[in-house]
Structure 1
Amino acid sequence: MASRRRLVQPRVAVAAVFGTTVEWYDFALYGTAASLVFNKVYFPDSDPLVGTILAYGTFAIGFLARPLGGAYFGEKGDTQGRKKVLVATLLLMGLATTAIGLLPTYGQIGVAAPVLLTLLRFVQGFAAGGEKTGALIILFENAPPKWRGLLTSLPAIGTGTGTLLSTGVFALCTGLLSDDAFLAWGWRIPFLLSAVLTLFGLWVRRSLDETAEFKESGAPAPRERTGTWRQRLARTRFVEAWRRYPKEMMIVIGAGAAENAGYYIFGTFSVAYAEDRGLSTAALLSGISIAAAVKLVTVPAFGALSDRVGRRGVSIGGALVLLLAAWPFFWIVEGGSTALIWVALLVTLGIGQSAILGSQPAFFAELFDTKVRFSAVGVANNIGTVLTGGLAPMLATALLLWFDHSVAGVVVFIALMSGLTAGTVFLAKETRPVTDSAERAAAPAPMSG
């Protein structure tokens, strides 16, 4: 086992990271468009803030689809192989995103427009449910144990790069076009660009090999299709994972709360908040792009740190940073200083979120064995993302209305999510492998039972 894991082949890392970049470019586009465009072109008859809530509702639909995608693609990944899933999810996401770029507006086809928008967002979420999990697992199963934290953090670089690209393209379009031109047709450009990126991503991934660990596990055939739907459901890998690893599944659901909520509050909702305050969104959009670029370094750095000091400490530290930065962040946004807004985004997204994002992929994968790993991580992580991330922008906007445009409720929400992450990870056991003789000599004996 150790001999075959001397080094991850560069093409594996490139295929995992670039494919995730394309997928998250597509997925993140929707979040930015929901803040700036969809509330106007698909929900034009509503109050502006109510329209934003409705737009975020369709945004959340994509997250509701992610556990279903995690279960479906997890079953395929655990029974038919990791590579097939990585190709299928990329293709599905690209088709849905390109279709959004071609979708008529409410003014052109009426209520069918938001209905179709919601359907396409659901397809995006279904594809995303299998993508990131597949990318981290294919790297995990090719990685030496002492490098798992670093290497499994690389797909998160793809999410950061995708966010950087999507926000950057939107910022470019809003900067070069008039408001009327951008709202009429300019917003479609980033979505249509997805078609080109998807074709290149498929070309990169076509040469991937199946992981040796999956092959050594016996490459199980798909479960029998006979019996009632309840009997077939009971034979699926994600049900098996719940049966064998109930505690670990709950850990995965809760551990990512601060990272999920933090990203969508600081990186998505903050844009709508600035608009509601009558502030320029340019500083936030450019700052989010800068933070995404910094994350290309900080995420793997924190992943590597988790290989040295453990997954738990790095993750808890990131949650505490988000907790402490929440109130100052919105105070800085209201102040309007571009430099301070950039600093605030670097602290929240470049440090706090990155610490969690870099340390948790290996932590999650190490909790499960090969035969259920894809399904277990895919389902549990996506459930957590729905509960603590996908609903965050809509909930934050509703809290803004509830508290008469004060961010007090939003800050409390971030505090609760940060506490959930810190508490869940604190109660979990460390999963980082002991990799050298000095560590083994110092490690306590395993507890019985």
Structure 2
Amino acid sequence: MTEAAPARPAPPPQRAFDPKIALTAVFGTTIEWYDFALYGTAAALVFNKVYFPDSDPLVGSILAYGTFAIGFLARPLGGAYFGERGDTRGRKGVMVATLLLMGLATTAIGLLPTYGQIGVAAPVLLTLLRFVQGFAAGGEKTGALIILFENAPPKWRGLATCLPAIGTGTGTLLSTGVFALCTSLLSEGELLSWGWRIPFLISAALTFFGLWVRRSLPETAEFRQTAGDADASPAPPVRLPLRRRLAASRFVTAWRRYPQEMLIVIGAGAAENAGYYIFGTFAVTYAEDRGLATTALLSGISLVAALKLVTVPAFGALSDRVGRRPVSIGGALVLLLAAWPFFEVVDGGRPWAVWLFLFITLGIGQSAILGSQPAFFAELFDTSVRFSAIGVANNIGTVLTGGLAPMLASALLLWFDHSVTGVVVFIALMSAVTVVTVALARETRHTESAPVERTPQPAR
């Protein structure tokens, strides 16, 4: 009797892309990144004065950026925590939880007393709230990326998965615009006394509206298929020791199954992370250190953030045509070549030149990487560990190459006697990391999304 052929895994479900899903994901990410980016601008202009007032101005900026970096140190923890829940319980619940947590932390910052009112407890509480922001951010952008990836037709994955980057850009636009409005309408004394709180308190209304929008977000078909397969023969509940629970977690499984892919995700975003926080955040401190008006920079950052609503999806669509690797490498090279001229034009103080180089660095260089890498990352992993893998690895990369960038750049500026040479070298190194990492990776544009787990390799 002829033996029956083994059953083949079910193919990935056919996708009919729903624009409402895209709008819901992007809108929620916009609100959450308004909160997260708001802190960076406040750290550059306010927190070094109201929470670290006894320090030298540049040293105060370094301390303020230290609390800024704490938010990034929390992101891998948030990626692991929310990734585990996203891979085991579903994507939708994570998207609601991260938005709520971020909104509560941001509103609390707006109500926080200053150093002059409660002393050292103020910067301690500020640091704690920034940690909560980072914890929430660790799951937000990854969740939005995955929901769009798992709902997009294969030929549109680059375009669809870069849409959360539009949300981060729009959130940055809103936060920078609100701060620019406050600085233009209020005196310095009014801004430092109470005006800086207004953008943070606006978060309460935005968060409430975002939760109302996200309530209708559906679960993805790929996750439902994977969860259905897992529920077919459920294992009896067993209370495992903590060490065994960690060993069985999805992010540990991802490291075990996909070690090379995890390292690729960590290194590939180095240029984009460093570039964004150097050109979009540290540059404000640099201009102040040079005695220049920050209005041109803030308005230029807002303008470029608006233009990125077009450039990011354009590069995402381009990656669907020519591949993820060439678009990403091209963006890193643009950041490398534009770094020194950028600071030269900031020193010159001509607004049109500053705006031009903000567009070159953030509107072209960073946008090319933002548009091409989300789909690249998602295509590296199967459905069962995708959330945890990207949430942990991408956030580790963000900590190492982005979250510490403003503080490191301020320290390099001090170390090199207020010369920008060290900062430019840092950007060059981060760009080189992206170029080498992506060049050594495989092209994923034609990779099939895999809802079925990869078979583990035998232990050696």
Structure-1-length-normalised TM-score: 0.95
Write the deviation string for residues 4-40 of structure 1: whole angstroms up to 9, x where unpaired: 313x212211110000000100000000000000000
Q: Does 1:241 align with 2:233?
A: no
Q: Structure 1: how far apart are the matches of 2:13 and 2:247?
A: 37
Give the 5 Å matches for 1:166-245. Answer: 166-219=175-228, 220=230, 226-245=239-258
Q: Does 1:132 align with 2:141?
A: yes
Q: Secondary structure at the match of 1:5?
A: coil
Amino acid at match of 1:4: Q
Q: Shift in Å at residue 297 of structure 1?
A: 0.3
Q: Shift in Å at residue 294 of structure 1?
A: 0.6
Amino acid at match of 1:306: S
Q: Does 1:108 align with 2:117?
A: yes
Contact 1:35 1:272 (8 Å CA) reproduced: yes
Instruction: Specify the alignment match of 1:432 in structure 2.
Output: 445
Q: Shift in Å at residue 226 of structure 1?
A: 2.2
Instruction: Specify the alignment match of 1:16 in structure 2.
Output: 25
Q: Does 1:402 align with 2:412?
A: no
Give the 5 Å matches for 1:136-175. Answer: 136-175=145-184
Contact 1:225 1:232 (8 Å CA) reproduced: no
Q: Secondary structure at the match of 2:318?
A: helix
> Of residues 32, 36, 43 in structure 2, which corresponds to 1:27?
36
Q: Structure 1: how far apart are the matches of 2:14 and 2:431?
A: 39
Q: Secondary structure at the match of 1:217?
A: helix
> Of residues 332, 335, 338 in structure 2, which corresponds to 1:322?
335
Q: Structure 2: how far apart are the matches of 1:389 and 1:228?
A: 35
Contact 2:88 2:227 (8 Å CA) reproduced: no
Instruction: Specify the alignment match of 1:4 in structure 2.
Output: 14
Give the 5 Å matches for 1:5-84. Answer: 5-6=15-16, 8-84=17-93
Write the deviation string for residues 282-315 of structure 1: whole angstroms up to 9, x where unpaired: 0000000011001000000000000000000000
Instruction: Specify the alignment match of 1:438 in structure 2.
Output: none
Q: Shift in Å at residue 225 of structure 1?
A: 6.3
Please tell me the root mean square deviation across aligned C-alpha atoms, in Å.
Answer: 1.3
Contact 1:65 1:123 (8 Å CA) reproduced: yes
Instruction: Specify the alignment match of 1:90 in structure 2.
Output: 99
Q: Structure 2: how far apart are the matches of 1:225 and 1:91?
A: 31
Instruction: Specify the alignment match of 1:311 in structure 2.
Output: 324
Q: Structure 2: how far apart are the matches of 1:17 and 1:125?
A: 19
Q: Structure 2: how far apart are the matches of 1:227 and 1:9?
A: 40
Q: Shift in Å at residue 218 of structure 1?
A: 2.5
Give the 5 Å matches for 1:231-380. Answer: 231-380=244-393
Q: Structure 2: how far apart are the matches of 1:33 and 1:251?
A: 32
Q: Structure 1: how far apart are the matches of 2:238 and 2:115?
A: 43
Write the deviation string for residues 105-133 of structure 1: whole angstroms up to 9, x where unpaired: 00000000000000000000000000000
Q: Structure 1: how far apart are the matches of 2:301 and 2:414?
A: 24
Q: Structure 2: how far apart are the matches of 1:379 and 1:225?
A: 26
Q: Structure 2: how far apart are the matches of 1:3 and 1:51?
A: 53
Amino acid at match of 1:47: D
Write the deviation string for residues 311-368 of structure 1: whole angstroms up to 9, x where unpaired: 0000000000000000000000000000000001000000000000000000000000
Q: Shift in Å at residue 228 of structure 1?
A: 2.2
> Of residues 379, 384, 400 in structure 1, which corresponds to 2:397?
384
Amino acid at match of 1:307: D
Q: Shift in Å at residue 217 of structure 1?
A: 1.0
Q: Structure 2: how far apart are the matches of 1:309 and 1:4?
A: 24
Contact 1:317 1:355 (8 Å CA) reproduced: yes
Amino acid at match of 1:227: L
Structure 1 residues 434 and 254 mapped into 2: Cα distance closer, same or farther (>3 Å)? Answer: closer
Amino acid at match of 2:40: G
Q: Structure 1: how far apart are the matches of 2:288 and 2:197?
A: 21
Q: Secondary structure at the match of 1:46?
A: coil
Amino acid at match of 1:34: A
Q: Shift in Å at residue 434 of structure 1?
A: 7.0
Q: Structure 2: how far apart are the matches of 1:434 and 1:149?
A: 12
Write the deviation string for residues 263-285 of structure 1: whole angstroms up to 9, x where unpaired: 00000000000000100000000
Contact 1:2 1:144 (8 Å CA) reproduced: no
Contact 1:101 1:191 (8 Å CA) reproduced: yes
Contact 1:18 1:201 (8 Å CA) reproduced: yes
Write the deviation string for residues 362-413 of structure 1: whole angstroms up to 9, x where unpaired: 0000000000000000000000000000000000000000000000000000
Q: Shift in Å at residue 172 of structure 1?
A: 0.3
Instruction: Specify the alignment match of 1:117 in structure 2.
Output: 126
Structure 2: give runs of 5+ residues left out of the alignment: 1-10, 449-460
Amino acid at match of 1:156: A
Q: Secondary structure at the match of 1:170?
A: helix
Contact 2:12 2:222 (8 Å CA) reproduced: no
Q: Structure 1: how far apart are the matches of 2:87 and 2:347?
A: 48
Structure 1: give runs of 5+ residues left out of the alignment: 436-449
Q: Structure 1: how far apart are the matches of 2:439 and 2:408?
A: 27
- Give the count of matched residue pairs: 434
| Identity between Structure 1 and Structure 2 (%) | 81
Structure 1 residues 130 and 141 mapped into 2: Cα distance closer, same or farther (>3 Å)? Answer: same
Deviates more, 1:389-398 or 1:209-218: 209-218
Q: Shift in Å at residue 167 of structure 1?
A: 0.1
